[in-house]
Amino acid sequence: MAHKLSQSQMDGLRLLLLGGMVFILFGIALENSASTPQVDFRMMYFPARCFLDHHDPYNASNVSSVYLSEGDRYSLNSNGPQPIITQYVYPPTAFLVTLPVALLPWAMAKTVWLFLTFLSLILAAVFIWHLSENQAPILAGLLAGWLLANSESLAITGTIAGIAMSLAIASIWCITRERFIPAGILFLAVSLMVKPQDTALIWLYLFLAGGVYRKRALQALAAATALSLPIVLSLWAVAPHWLAELRANLAFFFAIHGINTPGLASAGAHGIAKIVSLQAILAVIHDDPRFYNPASYLLCAPLLIIWAWKVLHLDRSIRNAMYSLAAAAPLSLLPTYHRLYDTKLLLLVIPACAMQWSKSRKLGGMVLACTAVIFILTSDIVNAALYTFSRQTNEIAPALTIAVQIFLVPFFLFVTGIVYLSLMLRNGESSCNAAVHKGS
């Protein structure tokens, strides 16, 4: 990345960095003004503190005790954030990231976590821009900058998703560019340990692509296993019933009308950090997980099968990797539970969009239009405005409220997945010899 940049490349990079500045400034301001800032990070920090004290981090009573003694005194009652904070739902492998931060006192830890969130996503955007700089640097900088400028939810909630997705994106740059390979393997391993539901298709692409990519995928899996083993064994020593407790905690959040259920009566599905998977639409038709979960899987399965089949028949070139991952990004968000902040994974569509734009203005313009729509709909600022609008129209036009607040994002994610899957099928370079191309 040390070569001299052209004027258009400089302009694109400036747009990206401008978005990064907005992300930092707005993120800090909104995080400081939030009624319960960094709720998701609290959910990770205090169980990690509990684990450091050799107590069961999946036991809500243990976590509550730590929170009362070390937290900043948010109300621990049924109306406050207590169930979110004290009922830990992440896999034990996530402690790899949270335990080092949990060594710090709360005030310092939340500042460090906020810094890591900003730094990781901005660097991921730079890596994505670098993969696009020879095709359409200004367009790539504009899209990446827009996404960064509308990622304040990551700062407000403190969710680990931002760091996990950023590490996975960084790993793709390392592996496809064949630079800093050990770091790329480690980044992918950590992302799989922390948020496998966000990054599994990235790993699957590398595995299915074969050759050196498969080697890197297996190395990342081996690294994740090696890093996970001591954590899981240590957890079993202090919490022999952690698996049953994890299931119980998940059941609480996914209970009927619970925080993580997609139905209209859900306690937390349709706010600013709304659920964006297909279940949100399907639950309006019939609010029963026995319907909306299988229906979501059935709708997405054909697309994912076609995607996997095509990956198996593509050369291992950077070009094919970008088209494949562009299709994987929206498709990975649709079948299972994901929230709006998970859509920052859409950074992965930018290189393919830039390639298509530089190749054909007509088709590229259609792809750009689709990409622009989903980037706008998943942006935090626009979504906050839509949420305010839907609350005002709910009583007089409930159908419009449902369309705006629930249907738009999952529907256009589905459309975006089909568009980029079509591009992958159209532009993928196949070869019986599966030769490795190293173009940009």
* Digit-coded pLDDT (tens) for 34-81: 777 888 999 999 999 999 999 999 999 999 888 888 765 554 444 444
Q: Look at residue 386 and tell me whether its pLDDT is greater than 90.
A: no
Contacts of 201 (CB under 8 A, 6+ apart): 328, 329, 331, 332
Percent above pLDDT 90 for the chain: 71
Question: Are 231 and 370 part of one and the same domain?
Answer: no
Q: Please, are residues 266 and 279 in contact by the beta-carbon 8 Å criterion?
A: no
Give every CB contact of residue 389 below 8 A, 6+ residues apart in sequence. 404
Q: Residue 73 and residue 312: Cα distance in Å, rounded?
A: 53
Cα separation, 219 vs 117, in Å, equals 26
Same domain for 119 and 166?
Answer: yes
Mean of the pLDDT values across residues 282-288? 91
Q: Are residues 275 and 403 in the same domain?
A: yes
pLDDT: which is higher, 4 or 413: 413
- 256: number of Cβ within 10 Å: 11
User: Is 48 in a helix, a strand, or coil?
Assistant: helix
3-state secondary structure of 84: helix
CA distances from 197 to 338, 340, 421 (A): 8, 14, 20
Q: Do 270 and 203 lie in a common domain?
A: no
Query: CA-CA distance, 347 to 128, in Å (whole number)?
Result: 7
Same-domain status, 155 and 268: no
The string of DSSP letters for 122-160 reads HHHHHHHHHTTTTT-HHHHHHHHHHHHHT-HHHHHH--T
Say if residue 229 is in the same domain as residue 270: no
Same domain, 114 and 127: yes
Pair (364, 389) in one structural domain: yes
What angle is formed at CA 144 by the lines to CA 143 and CA 148, rounded to 5 degrees?
120
Domain end, chosen from 217, 236, 253, is at 253
Q: How far apart are the first and last CA of the chain?
A: 13
With 90 as the cut, is the pLDDT of residue 240 above it?
A: yes
User: Encoding tokens for residue 305?
Assistant: 């099968």
Rounded distance between C-alpha atoms, residue 288 and residue 295, angstroms: 11
Domain that holds residue 369: 257-440
Domain check: are 315 and 424 in the same one? yes
> What does the alpha-carbon distance between residue 80 and residue 68 come to, in Å, rounded to a whole number?
13
Q: Which of 38-47, 115-124, 255-264, 399-408 bottoms out in mean pLDDT, i.e. has the lowest?
A: 399-408
Question: Sorting pLDDT into bands at 50, 70 and 90, what band is 432?
Answer: very low
Instruction: Return the pLDDT at 433.
Output: 40
Give the type of residue at 275.
I
Supply the pLDDT for residue 398. 67
The last residue of a domain, from among 232, 253, 274: 253
Domain boundary among 203, 231, 253: 253
What is the per-residue pLDDT for 277? 95
Q: What is the mean pLDDT of residues 397-405?
A: 71
What does the pLDDT read at residue 216?
A: 97
Q: Please tell me the predicted confidence (pLDDT) of residue 75.
A: 45
- State residue 3's pLDDT score: 67
Residue 160 and residue 223 in one domain: yes
Calpha distance 347→301 (Å, rounded): 23
422 and 355 in a common domain = yes
> What pLDDT score was predicted for residue 104?
95
Query: Do 239 and 269 fall into the same domain?
Result: no
Mean pLDDT of all residues in 321-350? 95
Q: Average pLDDT, whole number, for the chain? A: 89
Q: Is the pLDDT reported for residue 84 higher than 90?
A: no
Counted domains in the chain: 2
Specify the pLDDT at position 227.
96
Average pLDDT over residues 236-241: 94
Out of 186-190, 272-276, 323-327, which region has the weakest mean confidence (pLDDT)? 272-276
H-state helical runs in 131-272: 137-149, 152-157, 161-177, 181-194, 196-209, 211-238, 242-253
